[in-house]
Amino acid sequence: MSSDFLPALLAATSSVDIGASGFATSIKLNFVDYSILAAYILTVMFIGFALKRYMKSSEDFFLSGRAIPGWITGLAFISANLGAQEIIGMAASGAEYGIMTAHFYWVGAIPAMVFLGVFMMPMYYGSKARSVPEYLKMRYDEKTRTFNSISFAVLTLFSSGISMHALAELLNLLLGWNYHISLLVVSVVVLAYILKGGLSSAIYNEVLQFFMILLGIAPLAWLGLEAVGGWNGLVEKISTTRPEAMHLWQDTAGIGNPLGVPWYGILFGLGFVLSFGYWCTNFAEVQRALAARSMGAARRTPLIGAVPKMMFPAVVILPGIIAYALTHMTTNSGYTIPMKDGVANYNQVLPSMIFHYFPNGMLGLALTALMASFMSGMAANVTAFNTVWTYDIYENKFPGQKTDRQLMVMGRYATIFGVVLSIGCAYFASNFKNIMSLLQMVFGFVNSPIFATFLLGMFTVRSNSRGAFWGLVAGTTSAFVFHGLSIAVGNPVGFIKGGWISPLIELPKEMSQSFYVAGVAFTVTFVTNIVLSLTQAREKTDAQLAGLVYSLTPKQVEDSGPWYSRPAVLGALIIIAVVALNFYFW
Amino acid sequence: MTFDLRLPIGILFTIYGVILTGYGLLTQGSEMYQKSLGKNVNLGWGIVLLVFGLFMLLLTRLGRKN
């Protein structure tokens, strides 16, 4: 559910805690660094204020009036997911698991994004649903929508809070900035620009943040490669110390690979259930596409996003792999991964490399990039929250007719209390770290049942509201039960890590445990939905389902445009590229 | 919507390019570049940012003419 749930899964083994240590010298920012940071903050505020005059109706505020070009929504689509935890988590996993971390991109995200653009977007955008829960209402019923909107609203606030906590703690440890003040200042900036410019402001700023993150973090891979002796140097060093870290598939016949998951677990658990569940049904993502100005632009949104997304492992995972190589070189490289309590503290890989290699100037740029990544993740969560709150909960559940003006006012209030509640969750996270890693598991529990429900809802006419609702309930429950019955080797049995009912099922790694949980939850939802739906007569007629189910949605007439802008062509090209990457790094 | 995002992106990164390139020129040969393996990364990356920023500004101008 959270925009940070994929890296959070990865980080689960080392927990979200970004502990101190590893920084021999304290780092001082100078006026150049500060002016870079200040220029960024001024620009995001400027964009918010410049967009204020377009905010005339609630559709403008929550859906950008469905008027944004595809390249903007496409970059915002991936930027919404580039939270600080994604950047830090992916580098951490690069160091811990090696290149297999790229499965989260090349098996996970990319195919799911293509599927969303080519097959699901005609129903999402065409149905004129204003949110993901609202689509569930159109296709099924009010219960199913309520289930989804409440679980989404709660989890999205928690994920925003967790990432706020992570950033404030990082700034505190690295720069000695006051935890409370950093939390407050960054939240106020995000709050201000969303209040002014609504979703448009979040989206336009996400594109700016995308370039900021890319151009601020990319030089790290450049300097890292210089330090390790180029790409060939890296391959040579890794192949002497840890050859399995440079292969995606070679060791996946069994569980003897860094992830501890065989190939079918990767394909089904990560590739299919977890990634499709996240990318295709998370409203913080889908909302970006709904803001696009035409059906073609909406369908191209995840496809345009997929192109840079495919390259991102070079920016975020590669520095982690380099950090591992530098730490284990026979000659002293001067850099080692920070340790905490005698074990490598992978969450510090990215920040420690930045501080090790970047002088003042570049340092300010990289810190601003981290700040930008944090803001984009937070703004995505907050704009998704205020929309779901206003359209799916307030407009529906509170008595009385609401005028458009009232919805807009409520949207602004929802933005404010969304930010305030996120700050509350951040403090909660700083006090109960174990509960946070449990919650990250929970994000996974909720996603896969929703995805099973969408799959049946969008691609079959028989699936009905009874099947959908009880399928969701059964699937989510089964996830908790499976978690209670399974434990990763070496983990303490308990409510946090699992096995609290009885540790019957032993799994090699926490990662494989989460894949199995997701797989079980998906299967139970899928089967329950089908069985319950088939035991009843059809609930809705073809006419009622027109535009909501794939077979009853008119074939998309392609936009007049060059052949390469057609979603199916673009999708096919992306799939070919991603298959090639999988073979290349076999 | 007539808001052209390329303009603020272009301005911001042009400013970054100027700041970093200028700072890099002023600090040439400084021992602070021992961190970055002896490379004046401020100068090098500053030029990259400057080119990117100016390119965005150029796109904005071309967009206006159409």
Q: At what angle do helices A510-534 and A433-459 cross, to 10 degrees?
A: 40
Closest CA to A321 of A229, A252, A238, A244: A238
The residue-averaged pLDDT of A33-54 equals: 91
* Beta carbons of A178 and A28 less than 8 angstroms apart: no
- In chain B, which residues have their Cβ closer than 8 Å to the Cβ of A65? 1
Beta-sheet strands, E only, within A328-421: 339-340, 343-344
Say if A359 is an interface residue toward chain B (CB within 8 Å): yes
Q: Are strands A505-507 and A339-340 parallel, antiparallel or unpaired?
A: unpaired
* Beta carbons of A413 and A382 less than 8 angstroms apart: no
d(CA A464, CA A442): 26
Closest CA to A419 of A374, A387, A382, A373: A382
Confidence check: pLDDT of A368 > 90? yes
Confidence check: pLDDT of A48 > 50? yes
Task: Using pLDDT thresholds of 50, 70 and 90, give the confidence band for residue A438.
Answer: low
Task: Using pLDDT thresholds of 50, 70 and 90, give the confidence band for residue A14.
Answer: very low
pLDDT at residue A8 in the model: 43
When scoring B7, B9, B27, B48 by the number of chain A Cβ atoms within 10 A, the one with the most, hence best to mutate, is B9
Reported as a single tens digit per residue, the pLDDT across A407-417 is 888 989 999 98
Closest CA to A586 of A165, A190, A103: A103
pLDDT at residue A439 in the model: 63
pTM score: 0.89
In sequence order, the 6+-apart residues with CB closer than 8 A to the CB of A27 are: A174, A175, A355, A363
Say if B13 is an interface residue toward chain A (CB within 8 Å): yes
Q: By CB neighbour count within 10 A (0-12 exposed, 13-18 middle, 19+ buried), where does A11 fall?
A: buried
User: What Rg do the C-alpha atoms of chain B give, in angstroms?
Assistant: 15
Phi/psi of residue A14, nearest 5 degrees: -110, 5
Q: Give SS3 for A487.
A: strand
Task: Using pLDDT thresholds of 50, 70 and 90, give the confidence band for residue A261.
Answer: confident
pLDDT at residue A450 in the model: 92
- In chain B, which residues have their Cβ closer than 8 Å to the Cβ of A35? 19
Mean pLDDT (chain A) is 84
- Name which of A50, A215, A356 is nearest B52 (Cβ-Cβ): A215
In sequence order, the 6+-apart residues with CB closer than 8 A to the CB of B38 are: none
Phi/psi of residue A486, nearest 5 degrees: -125, 155
Between A256 and B48, the more confident residue is B48
* Percent of chain A at pLDDT exceeding 70: 93
Confidence check: pLDDT of A20 > 60? no
Between A208 and A336, the more confident residue is A208
- Name which of B5, B32, B45 is nearest A219 (Cβ-Cβ): B45
Closest CA to A504 of A481, A472, A534: A481
Q: Give SS3 for A547.
A: coil
d(CA A288, CA A297): 11
When scoring B32, B39, B45, B56 by the number of chain A Cβ atoms within 10 A, the one with the most, hence best to mutate, is B45
The residue-averaged pLDDT of B6-33 equals: 92
Residue B14 distance to chain A (closest CA, Å): 11
The residue-averaged pLDDT of A193-205 equals: 89
The residue-averaged pLDDT of A449-460 equals: 92
Q: Give strand pairing partners of A343.
A: A340
pLDDT at residue B15 in the model: 96
Lowest-confidence range among A229-233, A509-513, A554-558? A554-558
Give residue A464's region: left, alpha or beta (phi > 0; psi -120 to 50): beta
Task: Using pLDDT thresholds of 50, 70 and 90, give the confidence band for residue A54.
Answer: confident
Lowest-confidence range among A52-61, A98-107, B17-26? A52-61
The residue-averaged pLDDT of A294-315 equals: 91
The residue-averaged pLDDT of A514-523 equals: 88
Residue A205's CB is within 10 A of a number of other CB atoms, namely 30
pLDDT at residue A302 in the model: 93
Task: Using pLDDT thresholds of 50, 70 and 90, give the confidence band for residue A11.
Answer: very low
Lowest-confidence range among A107-111, A491-495, A555-559? A555-559
Beta-sheet strands, E only, within A458-582: 486-488, 505-507
Say if B55 is an interface residue toward chain A (CB within 8 Å): no
When scoring A72, A326, A365, A367 by the number of chain B Cβ atoms within 10 A, the one with the most, hence best to mutate, is A365
In sequence order, the 6+-apart residues with CB closer than 8 A to the CB of A22 are: A337, A338, A339, A340, A345, A348, A352
Say if A202 is an interface residue toward chain B (CB within 8 Å): no
Reported as a single tens digit per residue, the pLDDT across A545-560 is 888 888 788 877 665 6
Q: Do B12 and A67 touch (CB under 8 A)?
A: no
d(CA A3, CA A283): 10
The amino acid occupying position A433 is: K
Q: What is the DSSP string of A319-334?
A: HHHHHHHHHT-SS--S
In sequence order, the 6+-apart residues with CB closer than 8 A to the CB of A489 are: A506, A507, A508, A509
Q: What is the DSSP string of B6-29?
A: HHHHHHHHHHHHHHHHHHHHHTTT
Confidence check: pLDDT of A235 > 90? no
Lowest-confidence range among A30-34, A151-155, A161-165, A307-311? A161-165
Count of positions (residues) in chain B: 66
Confidence check: pLDDT of A223 > 70? yes
Task: Using pLDDT thresholds of 50, 70 and 90, give the confidence band for residue A475.
Answer: very high
d(CA A50, CA A47): 5
Run of H or E residues at A6 = helix A5-11
ipTM of the predicted structure?
A: 0.95
The residue-averaged pLDDT of A386-396 equals: 88
d(CA A177, CA B1): 39
Closest CA to A465 of A552, A391, A544: A544
Run of H or E residues at A476 = helix A465-485
- CA A107 vs. chain centroid, Å, equals 15
pLDDT at residue A4 in the model: 42
pLDDT at residue A71 in the model: 85
- In chain B, which residues have their Cβ closer than 8 Å to the Cβ of A291? none
Confidence check: pLDDT of A227 > 80? yes
**Measuring CA to CA, how many Å separate A375 from each of A145, A160, A205, A455, A456?**
28, 10, 9, 32, 35
pLDDT at residue A36 in the model: 95
The residue-averaged pLDDT of A460-479 equals: 92
